[in-house]
């Protein structure tokens, strides 16, 4: 008799934990105003979690009256991961103000029927902005700085996209890129090529750079100088790869049967402090039998510096011999793993590196997956509880 409510709970849990998702790309579209411009713009409606749903599509905002939606309602099936929709833009002969004018094309799911009790059902709506810029009188440019993943002493490029949003041509534009360190200290400056940019047109300027700085995070500020005017954009970038290194292990004052304290020396090659690094250690024999596992305290590893992490092993039931000491260093969602061969003797433990460094970027599971795992876990727990209750009843 008690089975029914438990099964009901399971069903409710399954139903209640359905995910809901909606996406749109691009999230904004840029148009430079031209009198009477007619343009069809496409959007991609994204069905990330592969569900059947219907949605309405409509425009809002200042420019909504100039937008004609092709299909005001759309349907996506669970087999479709996306659907392309389009709208037509018919701009007037003039817009009063120069500068930015906007509209939003909104895709909103049509809500489903609600359930009993006191229930609140989530619904999603997403917007893609339409940005229409009326060119500014005179000269006016906007820029976008593109950075890359630089490597020490290897030439690469900054790119600066220049968009002329003015009514006049830009005769000469060049970008100066200042590079700043973590303490906001200017470390280098590079200059791009020069170019002229016609009104409503765009150009890309290139600034070559061979970084002679150490690995780390830096900040680039690009200043475009164009016909005695200027504008800026900035981006952060890196040189090299962030990776903590496990330099060595050592054990001092050891007696077999006591607690072995492993000093794990960690080195930071990055130009900023790495916070919250910790190691997970495992001692195994050569057959893979695990003797102990230990998680160290977290520590901050200073920029371009070293820090010790300590792991402990109770050797009360350990016999002298060869073991493997596996260290997985965790930091900023990354892992570095090294395996040491250790020799345990009566009065000392010595170690030498056998494994190679394995840098692993920790893969974050999407929330959808997390909830599915949670759901499966709950269902299993409930089934176990149910079985236990059933057998207790049978015994009675």
Partner 1 sequence: MNNTKIFFGIGILFLSLIVSSYFVDTSLSCDVVTNCNNTDIFHISNETNAHAELNNNSNYAYEICCNDTAGLNVSNNCLGYYKTLLHLSNQTNAHAELNNKSNYNKFNVCISSSDGLLNCSYESSCDGYDTCIASVSSSTNAHVGNCTDYSIKICCGIMINNTAPTIIANVTSPINVYTNTDWKLNLTITDPDGGDIVTGYVQFYINGSAFGSEQSTSPITNNINTLIGTLNSLNFNKGATLIAEFWARDRIVNTTKENTTQVTVLNSIPSKVILSYPENNDSFFTNRIPRFNWTQAIDSDNEPLTYQIQVSLFPNMSSPLTNETGISNTSYMQPSELDFTVYYWRVRANDSEEYGNWSDIWNFTLVSSVSIIVTQDTMNFGTMTQFEINDTTNNQPAPFELENDGNLEANVSVNSTSLWQSNSAQLNTSYFQFKADNSTEANSFNWVNSQTTWANISDFYKSVIGTLNHTDINDLVEIDIRVEVVSDEPPGSKSAILTFYAEES
Interface pick for partner 1 out of 98, 129, 142, 196 (rule CB under 8 A) = 129
Buried b (16+ CB within 10 A) or exposed e, 146-160: bbeebeeeeeebbbb
Q: Is 84 in the site for partner 1 (CB under 8 A)?
A: yes
User: At which residue do the structure tokens 């149910």 appear?
Assistant: 386
Does 36 sit near partner 1 (CB under 8 A)? no
- Check if the beta carbon of residue 362 is closer than 8 Å to that of residue 388: no
How many whole angstroms separate alpha carbon 182 and alpha carbon 272?
Answer: 7
Cα 279 from Cα 275, distance rounded (Å):
13
Gap between the Cα atoms of 190 and 238, Å rounded = 16
CB of 93 to partner 1, least distance (A): 29
Tokens for 270, please give them. Answer: 């990055």
| Contact set for partner 1, span 233-272 (CB under 8 A) | 235, 237-238, 241
Selected binder of partner 1 within 59, 63, 91, 126 (CB under 8 A): 126
297 is an interface residue for partner 1 by CB under 8 A? no
State the Cα–Cα distance between residues 18 and 15, nearest whole angstrom: 6
Q: Which of 39, 208, 232, 295 binds partner 1 (CB under 8 A)?
A: 208
Could you tell me which stretch among 91-99, 125-133, 265-273, 315-323 binds partner 1 (CB under 8 A)?
125-133
* Stretch binding partner 1 (CB under 8 A), from 101-109, 176-184, 219-227, 295-303: 101-109
**Single residue of 354, 368, 384, 388 touching partner 1 by CB under 8 A:** 368
Using rule CB under 8 A, residue 308 touches partner 1: no
| Structure-block tokens of residue 165 | 């949003």
Contacts of 76 (CB under 8 A, 6+ apart): 45, 47, 51, 52, 53, 54, 55, 82, 83
Residue 364 binding partner 1, by CB under 8 A: yes
Residues that bind partner 1 (CB under 8 A): 12, 15-28, 42, 44, 46, 48-49, 82, 84, 104, 106, 108, 111-112, 114-129, 144, 146, 148-149, 156-157, 159, 161, 204, 206, 208, 235, 237-238, 241, 333, 362, 364, 366-368, 370-371
């Amino acid at each position: 008799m008690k089975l029914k409510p438990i099964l009901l709970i399971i069903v409710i849990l399954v139903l209640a934990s359905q995910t809901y998702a909606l996406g749109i790309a691009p999230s904004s579209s840029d148009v430079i105003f031209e009198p009477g411009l007619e343009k069809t713009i496409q959007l991609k409606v994204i069905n990330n979690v592969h569900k059947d749903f219907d949605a309405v599509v409509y425009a809002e905002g200042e420019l909504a009256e100039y937008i004609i939606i092709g299909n005001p309602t759309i349907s996506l099936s669970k087999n479709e991961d996306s659907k392309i929709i389009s709208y037509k833009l018919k701009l007037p002969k003039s817009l009063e103000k120069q500068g930015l004018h906007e509209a939003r094309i909104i895709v909103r799911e049509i809500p489903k029927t609600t359930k009993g009790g006191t229930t609140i059902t989530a619904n999603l709506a997403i917007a893609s902005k339409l940005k229409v810029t009326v060119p500014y009188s005179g000269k006016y440019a906007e820029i976008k700085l593109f950075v890359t993943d630089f490597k020490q002493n290897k030439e690469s490029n900054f790119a600066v996209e220049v968009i002329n949003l003015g009514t006049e041509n830009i005769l000469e534009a060049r970008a100066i890129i200042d590079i700043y360190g973590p303490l906001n200290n200017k470390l280098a400056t590079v200059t791009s090529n020069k170019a002229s940019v016609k009104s409503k047109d765009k150009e890309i300027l290139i600034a070559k750079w061979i970084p002679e700085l150490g690995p780390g995070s830096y900040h680039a500020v690009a200043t475009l100088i164009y016909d005695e005017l200027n504008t800026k954009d900035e981006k952060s970038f890196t040189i090299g790869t962030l990776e903590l290194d496990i330099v060595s292990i050592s054990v001092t004052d050891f007696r077999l049967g006591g607690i072995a304290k492993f000093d794990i020396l960690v080195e930071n090659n990055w130009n900023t402090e790495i916070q919250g690094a910790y190691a997970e250690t495992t001692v195994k024999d050569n057959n893979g039998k695990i003797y102990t596992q230990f998680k160290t305290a977290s520590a901050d590893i200073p920029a371009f510096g070293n820090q010790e992490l300590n792991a402990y092993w109770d050797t009360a039931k350990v016999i002298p011999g060869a073991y493997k000491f596996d260290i997985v260093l965790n930091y900023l969602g990354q892992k570095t793993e090294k395996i040491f061969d250790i020799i345990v003797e009566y009065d000392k433990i010595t170690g030498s590196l056998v494994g190679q460094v394995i840098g692993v970027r920790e893969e974050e599971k999407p929330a959808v997956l997390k909830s599915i795992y949670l759901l499966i876990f709950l269902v299993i727990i409930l089934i176990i509880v149910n079985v236990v209750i059933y057998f207790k009843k049978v015994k009675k």
